[in-house]
Amino acid sequence: MKDHPAPNSGKFDDPLTCADGQARASVRMEGIRTFWVNTGTLCNIACSHCYIESSPTNDALVYITAEETRRHLDATLAAGHPVEEVGFTGGEPFLNPEFPQMIEDALARGLQVLILSNAMKPMMRPRPMAALERLHRAHPGQITVRVSLDHYAAGPHDAERGAGAFDESIRGMRWLRDLGVGLAVAGRGFTDETEAQMRAGYAALFEAEDLPIDAADPSRCVLFPEMDMNAEVPEITTACWGILNKNPKDVMCASSRMLVHRRGAAEASFAACTLLPHEGQFDMGSGVPRIGEDVALNHPHCAKFCVLGGASCAA
């Protein structure tokens, strides 16, 4: 039997040159607008296709502390980055015991806060609920929780996240709705439905649940392309910007970095992208990211998710 080459074989090997010899595209840091923090990879559930492999046992990214988050955020602001928003992701952020303090520190600096959560049991414990209520009352309009709701129907969602996960997340969303915290949803394109069909399905769900989310607004109902490492993905050359009529300033790594603390590392450092915290070539070091530094689009996610998919994790 003839062996078939692995998907993307020979691609994404050289940060400067694509497999066909053309110059690889890169993205210049224009200034951090969304300062991402990974609170740790531990999660209350283990999803079938989690891009970061979060689970109840995976602490490859350890719980980051409020002190290191505050220190790096203040240094980034002092360096002149135009930070508007602090985004928190995981794992599940509400598992980190210092998470409420991180939210408070960001709000105290006048920044918007975006929390990526599954809105399940970790959020719905007495301490996180009390903290969210207190912080929302003190800083109305500054907090948005983007709930990971993979599909608008329970069946496909639970197939990814486990039986009962959909109903539990909906309960959390109802509580957030009643509290008045900003709400958004992140879905995934892992079914055969068109985007229009997906948005219609979410719209029906939001209406039935009286959730104040506009399914037609891509910043409030975010539909991420599926990240399949087994799929063949084209490389992005410098010529692609013109061919695709796309501005590199619109790609996520032009305006964001993510603070992570890898297990065994002496201190936290910045990843170029929220999707690639485990990839060494995208580790930008522990110092304040430099305006003008380049990130080579040398990974399949760069192509499929950001450039071709047009996705962004920011609000």
Q: Could you read off the pLDDT of 140-178 as tens digits, one per residue?
A: 999 999 999 999 999 999 999 999 999 999 999 999 999
Question: What phi and psi values does residue 260 have, to the nearest 5 degrees?
Answer: -135, 155
What is the pTM (predicted TM-score) of this model? 0.94
- In three-state secondary structure terms, 237 is strand
Contacts of 96 (CB under 8 A, 6+ apart): 39, 40, 63, 64, 90, 102
DSSP code at position 292: T
Q: Where are the beta strands (DSSP E) in the chain?
A: 26-28, 34-38, 85-89, 112-117, 143-148, 182-189, 221-225, 256-260, 269-271, 283-285, 294-296
DSSP code at position 127: H
Lowest mean pLDDT among 2-11, 56-65, 214-223: 2-11
Both tokens assigned to 161: 């996240």
Contacts of 294 (CB under 8 A, 6+ apart): 26, 27, 28, 29
The better pLDDT of the pair 225, 14 is held by: 14
User: Which pLDDT score, from 0 to 100, does residue 181 have?
Assistant: 98
Q: Using the predicted structure, report yes or no on whether residue 49 has a pLDDT greater than 90.
A: no
Q: Are 307 and 248 in contact (CB under 8 A)?
A: no
Both tokens assigned to 310: 């047009």
Q: Model confidence at 1, in pLDDT bands (50, 70, 90)?
A: very low
User: Which pLDDT score, from 0 to 100, does residue 2 have?
Assistant: 36
Q: How far apart are CA 12 and CA 300, in angstroms?
A: 7
Place of tokens 């993205």: 27
| Domains within the chain, CATH numbers bracketed | 29-308 (3.20.20.70)
